[in-house]
Amino acid sequence: MTSIPKNEQNQKQVQILNELSKRKVVEHNSLITSIAKMDKTPLKMFELAVSCIDTEEPPKDHTVYLSKAELFAFFKVDDSNKHTRFKQAVENMQKQAFFKIKEKKEHGFEFENIVPIPYVKWTDYHDEVTIRFSPEIMPYLINLKQNFTQHALSDLAELNSKYSIILYRWLSMNYNQYEHYSYKGGRREEQVEAYRNPSISMRELREMTDTVNEYKLFTNFSKKVLDKPLEEINDRTSFNIAYEKVKKGKSIDSIVFHITKKRRADDNSYKLEDKTYKEAKAEKELSNQTLAGKALESIYTRLLLENFLLSPYEMTDTSLMAGLQKNVYPKYDELKTLRGLEGVKKHLSYVREKQEPYSKGNVAKYLKKAVDQYLPTVKLQDLDQPERASVRGKGASHE
């Protein structure tokens, strides 16, 4: 058999690695927080297999196909004993690997033990490797509309510790939610920040890392499960992670992680930034511009200016004006229906007189709070004094 020159092998491996760097792993969050009862090699092999799944067109018979060349490049194996090592890794995965999944349901928690890949087939004369997922694991890998995490396969390829992989997946899950809600909205500011600075109890962390009965002393636990794995994550992935210990009495009760994302030109995982993330950002910017344009034309903006509750300079802030149009002006419409435009003017005059110190970034929040507190009083007055309805009807149409 003619051997392939070394430089051609290297070029082929580089080409394969470039292809692998374009792949992402998508999994349900319940799988991310499950207990992975396996060592690093089966776990990485599982992640590599998951990256082959097209979530838009799920594989028939739950089967995907890899090449041995992909496997060896992913695991950076180039020695003459690689076929034997591959065979051992597959056998170990099928003998020992399973996920213990705990998922919250309506009446409590549901527990599942799932062997993710029960069938693997390969030959010594062909490059293709057949991998078949169990039917039970598939709902955690396809048709994911919510509560799922996507991360770069290229980051996982660089991790050589089981705890590094487990922590990386969990940290990615939290940071993905931080990015999503930062641009889509739907969460309070402190909730969004909590995703970037996630906290986990020691009990949950030990369960997730399968160390309930290991490293009883925290110094040993932190060294094996936190310090070395996080050093590897910081050195080899798109994240920079720090953590702090939270005490309850004399013992460590929980860990708070602080996640930042690297912005390096040579960071493949950053180049592979999720298309939906970019689309969401562009969509929000366009939405803000539209809302801000409407706000500039609104009579309420003129009233805010007249009452010195808004400055011409602040009118140039697209986010602020969009916030007024989206969250405050509908409340003024409601008040106008109840009390007419004069009622809105009186309310703003009162707000101006009672104005509290607030930061420039909180104008919309301050005004929304004021009208939110006032509207229930108005509605209660109408219930107590039905004769106001006739006044309301006249005032509502007068501008």
- pLDDT per residue rounded down to tens, the chain (399 residues): 445 555 666 666 667 777 777 788 889 888 998 988 888 888 888 999 999 888 778 888 899 998 888 888 888 776 667 777 777 777 777 777 789 998 777 788 888 899 898 888 888 788 888 999 999 999 889 877 778 888 888 888 889 899 999 999 999 999 988 888 887 777 888 888 899 999 999 999 999 999 999 999 999 999 999 999 999 999 999 899 999 999 998 899 999 999 998 864 444 433 334 445 555 566 677 788 888 899 999 999 999 999 889 888 888 888 889 889 999 999 999 999 999 999 999 999 998 887 655 444 468 888 998 999 999 988 888 766 655 554 554 443 333
Instruction: Enter the CATH code of domain 158-273.
Output: 1.10.10.10
Q: What is the pTM of this model?
A: 0.62
The pLDDT of residue 253 is 94
The pLDDT of residue 13 is 65
Classify residue 17 as exposed, middle or buried by CB count within 10 Å of its CB (0-12, 13-18, 19+). middle
What are residue 129's DSSP bridge partners? 66, 122
Cα–chain center distance at 313: 35
Q: Name which of 185, 184, 192, 196 is nearest 239 in CA terms.
A: 196
**Coil, helix or strand at residue 368:** helix
* 387 C-beta neighbours (distance < 10 Å), count: 8
**Coil, helix or strand at residue 247:** strand
Domain boundaries, given as residue ranges, for the chain = 10-146, 158-273, 282-397
Phi-psi category of 117—alpha, beta or left, where left has phi over 0 and alpha has psi -120 to 50?
beta
Q: Tokens 């369960």 sit at which residue?
A: 207
- 261 contacts 255 by C-beta, under 8 angstroms: no
Q: Name which of 161, 175, 138 is nearest 27 in CA terms.
A: 138
The pLDDT of residue 152 is 84
Q: What length is written for the chain? A: 399
Q: How far apart are CA 200 and CA 170, in angstroms?
A: 10
* 200 C-beta neighbours (distance < 10 Å), count: 19
Q: Where are the beta strands (DSSP E) in the chain?
A: 24-28, 35-37, 63-67, 98-105, 108-114, 119-122, 128-132, 148-152, 199-201, 239-248, 251-261
The pLDDT of residue 268 is 42
Q: How far apart are CA 141 and CA 29, in angstroms?
A: 10
Q: How far apart are CA 153 and CA 133, in angstroms?
A: 18
Equal fold, 10-146 vs 158-273: yes
Q: How far apart are CA 51 and CA 121, in angstroms?
A: 18
Q: Name which of 178, 203, 192, 266 is nearest 35 in CA terms.
A: 203
Give Dmax over CA atoms of the chain in angstroms. Answer: 100
The pLDDT of residue 398 is 35
**Coil, helix or strand at residue 385:** coil
- 339 contacts 392 by C-beta, under 8 angstroms: yes
Class of the domain covering 10-146: mainly alpha
The pLDDT of residue 289 is 87
What does the block give as tokens for 217?
């002393």
The pLDDT of residue 18 is 74
Q: How far apart are CA 199 and CA 246, in angstroms?
A: 9
Residue 58 CB partners (closer than 8 Å, separation 6+): 138, 142, 143
Buried-exposed string 301-337: b where 16+ CB fall within 10 A, e elsewhere: bebbeebebbeeebbebeebbbbbbbbbbebbeebbe
Q: Name which of 265, 329, 263, 262 is nearest 291 in CA terms.
A: 329
- State the DSSP string of 37-62: ES-HHHHHHHHHHHTT--SSSPPGGG
How many CA atoms does the CB half-sphere of 224 hold within 13 Å?
A: 14
The pLDDT of residue 237 is 92
- 328 contacts 320 by C-beta, under 8 angstroms: no
